[in-house]
Structure 1
């Protein structure tokens, strides 16, 4: 059992995305964190520099498309989240955390209902 609030970290992640706050968003990740995006093609980003490159472009898409939290669920080894963009495209995200309370692994994918649609992430 962790001694940090995993749900709280994910809520902070959502808030940083909504605000377009890149610095706060990056601070939620471990230095060697890995993000895997399987929305269009599987892409992996590792470490602060690659995450910064990824999120710099994605935050612009979030702010212009409209970002809405759909569901947040604690799971055995982390937190799962579903959000929508422009109230239509649904994205599922799995967060896994390290012992220091930082995001170590994150995986995003289109929701099963949107597998035929394009993804902006």
Structure 2
């Protein structure tokens, strides 16, 4: 069992995404964190600079198109989240954490889509 609130960290992540707050979002990640995005082919990002490059444009889209929390669940080694962008594009994200209570890795991939969804996370 961890000494920190994994669910709370993911809720903070959701709040930062809704607000388009890149600095807060990046502060939730460990310095050597990685993001693996499977939404438009497999892409890997590691470390704060690469995560900033990945998240910057996406946060702009989230804040203008709308970002919705669909499901959030604890799993044996972290938290799984499903969110929507623009009310229809659904993304599944799996979060794993460092012992210090920072997000160490995020894997995102398309979730089951509504008939009108397109695109990328």
- TM-score normalised to the size of structure 2? 0.94
1:112 positional shift: 3.0
**8 Å contact kept, 1:40–1:118:** no
- Tell me the residue number matched to 1:100: 100
Alignment partners' CA distance in 1, 2:119 and 2:31 = 26
1:69 positional shift: 0.3
**8 Å contact kept, 2:88–2:113:** no
- Tell me the residue number matched to 2:69: 69
**8 Å contact kept, 1:58–1:120:** no
- TM-score normalised to the size of structure 1? 0.94
SS of the residue 2:113 aligns to? helix
Alignment partners' CA distance in 2, 1:59 and 1:113 = 20
Alignment partners' CA distance in 2, 1:88 and 1:33 = 28
Alignment partners' CA distance in 1, 2:119 and 2:67 = 13
**8 Å contact kept, 1:66–1:87:** yes
**8 Å contact kept, 2:6–2:78:** yes
2:38 matches 1:41: no
**Which consecutive aligned stretches of 4+ in structure 1 deviate over 4 angstroms post-superposition?**
none
2:90 matches 1:90: yes
Q: Please, which moves more after superposition, 28-37 or 105-114?
A: 105-114
Listed as ranges, the gaps of 5+ residues in structure 1 are none
Alignment partners' CA distance in 1, 2:60 and 2:120 = 10
- Tell me the residue number matched to 1:54: 54
1:65 positional shift: 1.3
